[in-house]
């Protein structure tokens, strides 16, 4: 399967999951829906087909790139750390994003077959999935644009549907039996949705596609007009040196694209589209109601995760990450609690969390942007207190890992080691700092933190200074090469 590539779409901002998600911790980074984050699940789902991590590209934007990369490079599994990244210069919906990946894959391998996957869905892994992708690859090799269609479980009006027609038995693999697509139907009304479910011919469009990269570009070109312009832009970008791909020229060209979805751009127009009906358990994790699935429901219909009690509470969801949350006599509510923010909502309003986010944005609430804990390739940091002239963080460094060689213009740092041993280089001098010892890093000193030990290093950092922004950092040397 050497020609198989994957484009994992990870540009979503995840407003609907606030306060669990933040601008810099979108839904795809959340870990409560399974053993690991949704994006790690997505990458693992496709690795058996691509073989290695380097054939997987995370398609994202400039704002999220660093967080996604920090998240994936923090994983133990080598192939998750090896994935590559494609940055959309600006957001222009899915067609330009997928086309950009197609152009880059095609430039590398003219035979490239790309699997397009959302990064923030739940999808059952296993034999059925394996058969689906095998069948899809077979059809894609013959030039089909292939979609995976989920067997609908209910008359959902919020999804798009795909209608299947004649079978394509030559591509069947195991349980996966592709057929030609008759048409795509956007969000139907209730009556039509019920017909669709009853008919056995309609499937949910889960945004999973398998296509030759070259065919994607061909179909885009064939669409003509504004759509065809997408192909021009992405082909131009793919011809540039990597450093130029996020440059001003690339951005200007990408900005000239009219936003359009991949469905509208090519799927609904092409004559050669196949769907593989799949009996897969799937969820788009579309709202906080999805939390209902992550723990058992008690006798009163409540789902609770985290510390606290519910007295006289019914049909509610209480999710708390670390704090204590109690409920008394409420019904049909969702309480989502994180270290720094809490949301209490009626279940019927789960689709409207975006309104809360917009209102908080108008207030300038910083709790929309940054999560309190942030993974890094070398470990993690957690913000404990932010005041005007000082800030406290808990920093954890993995055995064998080190941070960049850095300095700050505006802040001094006091490090108190509470567990493990730190090896600190400070203006050329090297100092071992053991548990219950501390070290001072004055403003402007060039320093680096390293854990040479065998156990995790934990230290408390007290930053003192007049400006404490994350961007007051000059990286002189960095194992994690943030500047691409």
Binding positions for a copy of itself, rule: CB under 8 A: 19, 307-309, 311-312, 320, 323-331, 333, 335, 337, 340-346, 348-349, 352-353, 355-356, 359-360, 363, 365, 367, 384-385, 387, 389-390, 392, 394, 412, 414, 416, 418-419, 435-438, 440, 460, 462, 464
Q: How far is the CB of 123 from a copy of itself (least distance, A)?
A: 29
Nearer to a copy of itself, 277 or 379 (CB): 379
Q: How far is the CB of 188 from a copy of itself (least distance, A)?
A: 26
CB of 34 closer than 8 Å to CB of 359 = no
Q: At what angle do helices 94-108 and 225-239 cross, to 10 degrees?
A: 40
CB of 83 closer than 8 Å to CB of 57 = yes
Q: How far is the CB of 268 from a copy of itself (least distance, A)?
A: 35
State the Cα–Cα distance between residues 95 and 446, nearest whole angstrom.
45
Can the peptide bond before residue 354 be classed as cis, meaning omega within 30 degrees of 0? Answer: no
Nearer to a copy of itself, 240 or 389 (CB): 389
Nearer to a copy of itself, 177 or 337 (CB): 337
80 phi and psi angles, rounded to 5 deg: -70, -35
DSSP structure class, residue 259: P
Q: How far is the CB of 376 from a copy of itself (least distance, A)?
A: 19
State the Cα–Cα distance between residues 65 and 88, nearest whole angstrom.
10
Can you tell me whether residue 468 is helix, strand or coil? Answer: coil
Nearer to a copy of itself, 294 or 341 (CB): 341
Residues 439-465 as b or e (16 or more Cβ within 10 Å = b): bebeeebbbbbbbebeeebbbebbbbb
Q: How far is CA 236 from CA 55, 187, 229, 247, 467, in A?
A: 21, 35, 11, 12, 41
Can you tell me whether residue 187 is helix, strand or coil? Answer: coil
Nearer to a copy of itself, 307 or 398 (CB): 307
CB of 429 closer than 8 Å to CB of 352 = no
Q: How far is the CB of 355 from a copy of itself (least distance, A)?
A: 5
Nearer to a copy of itself, 51 or 312 (CB): 312
* CB atoms inside a 10 Å sphere around CB 423: 17
Nearer to a copy of itself, 387 or 474 (CB): 387
Nearer to a copy of itself, 297 or 355 (CB): 355
59 phi and psi angles, rounded to 5 deg: -95, 115
Q: How far is the CB of 23 from a copy of itself (least distance, A)?
A: 14
Nearer to a copy of itself, 281 or 342 (CB): 342
429 phi and psi angles, rounded to 5 deg: -75, 145
Nearer to a copy of itself, 201 or 307 (CB): 307
Q: How far is the CB of 340 from a copy of itself (least distance, A)?
A: 6
Nearer to a copy of itself, 174 or 312 (CB): 312
User: Long-range CB contacts (< 8 A, 24+ apart) of 28-35?
Assistant: 28/68, 28/119, 28/120, 29/67, 29/68, 29/71, 32/291, 32/294, 32/305, 32/319, 33/122, 33/285, 33/290, 33/293, 33/294, 34/122
Q: At what angle do helices 62-73 and 38-50 cross, to 10 degrees?
A: 70
State the Cα–Cα distance between residues 377 and 431, nearest whole angstrom.
23
- Parallel, antiparallel, or unpaired: how do β-strands 429-433 and 438-441 relate? unpaired
State the Cα–Cα distance between residues 372 and 391, nearest whole angstrom.
12
Nearer to a copy of itself, 155 or 416 (CB): 416
Q: How far is the CB of 362 from a copy of itself (least distance, A)?
A: 9
Q: How far is the CB of 158 from a copy of itself (least distance, A)?
A: 18
Q: How far is the CB of 337 from a copy of itself (least distance, A)?
A: 6
Q: How far is the CB of 390 from a copy of itself (least distance, A)?
A: 4
Q: How far is the CB of 106 from a copy of itself (least distance, A)?
A: 45
In degrees, rounded to 5, the angle at the alpha carbon of residue 408 between the alpha carbons of residues 405 and 411 is: 135
Q: How far is CA 245 from CA 99, 187, 241, 395, in A?
A: 14, 36, 7, 34
């Amino acid at each position: 399967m050497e020609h198989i590539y994957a484009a994992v779409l990870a540009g979503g901002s995840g407003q609907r999951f606030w306060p669990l998600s933040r601008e810099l911790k979108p839904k795809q980074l959340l870990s409560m829906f399974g053993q690991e984050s949704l994006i790690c699940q997505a990458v693992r789902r496709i690795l058996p087909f691509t073989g290695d991590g380097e054939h997987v590209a995370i398609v994202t934007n400039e704002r999220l790139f660093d967080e996604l990369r920090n998240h994936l490079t923090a994983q133990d599994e080598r192939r998750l750390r090896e994935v590559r990244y494609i940055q959309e210069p600006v957001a222009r919906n899915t067609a330009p994003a997928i086309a950009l990946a197609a152009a880059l894959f095609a430039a590398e391998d003219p035979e490239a077959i790309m699997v397009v996957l959302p990064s923030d869905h739940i999808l059952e892994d296993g034999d059925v999935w394996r058969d689906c992708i095998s069948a899809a690859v077979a059809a894609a090799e013959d030039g089909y644009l292939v979609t995976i269609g989920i067997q609908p479980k209910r008359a959902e009006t919020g999804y798009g549907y795909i209608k299947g027609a004649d079978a394509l038995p030559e591509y069947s693999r195991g349980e996966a039996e592709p057929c030609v697509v008759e048409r795509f139907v956007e969000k139907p009304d209730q009556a039509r949705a019920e017909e669709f479910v009853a008919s056995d011919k309609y499937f949910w469009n889960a945004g999973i596609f398998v296509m030759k990269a070259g065919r994607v570009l061909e179909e885009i070109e064939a669409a003509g007009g504004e759509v065809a312009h997408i192909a021009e832009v992405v082909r131009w970008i793919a011809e540039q040196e990597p450093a130029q791909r996020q440059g001003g020229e690339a951005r200007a060209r990408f900005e000239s694209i009219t936003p359009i979805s991949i469905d509208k751009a090519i799927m609904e127009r092409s004559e050669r589209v196949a769907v593989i009906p799949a009996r897969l358990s799937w969820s788009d994790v579309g709202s906080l109601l999805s939390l209902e699935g992550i723990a058992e429901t008690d006798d009163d219909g409540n789902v609770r995760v985290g510390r606290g009690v519910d007295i006289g509470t019914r049909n509610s969801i209480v999710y708390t990450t670390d704090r204590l949350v109690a409920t008394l006599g409420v019904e049909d509510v969702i309480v989502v609690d994180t270290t720094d923010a809490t949301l209490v909502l009626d279940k019927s309003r789960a689709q409207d969390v975006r309104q809360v986010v917009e209102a908080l944005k108008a207030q300038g609430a910083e709790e929309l942007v940054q999560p309190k804990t942030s993974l890094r390739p070398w470990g993690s940091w957690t913000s404990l207190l932010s005041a005007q002239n000082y800030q406290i963080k808990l920093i954890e460094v993995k055995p064998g890992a080190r941070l960049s060689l850095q300095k700050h213009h505006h802040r001094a740092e006091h490090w108190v080691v509470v567990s493990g041993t730190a090896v600190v280089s400070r203006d050329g001098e090297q100092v071992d700092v053991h548990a219950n010892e501390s070290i001072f890093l004055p403003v402007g000193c060039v320093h680096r933190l390293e854990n040479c030990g065998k156990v995790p290093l934990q230290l408390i950092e007290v930053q003192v200074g007049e400006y404490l922004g994350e961007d007051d950092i000059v990286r002189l040397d960095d194992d994690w090469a943030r500047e691409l």
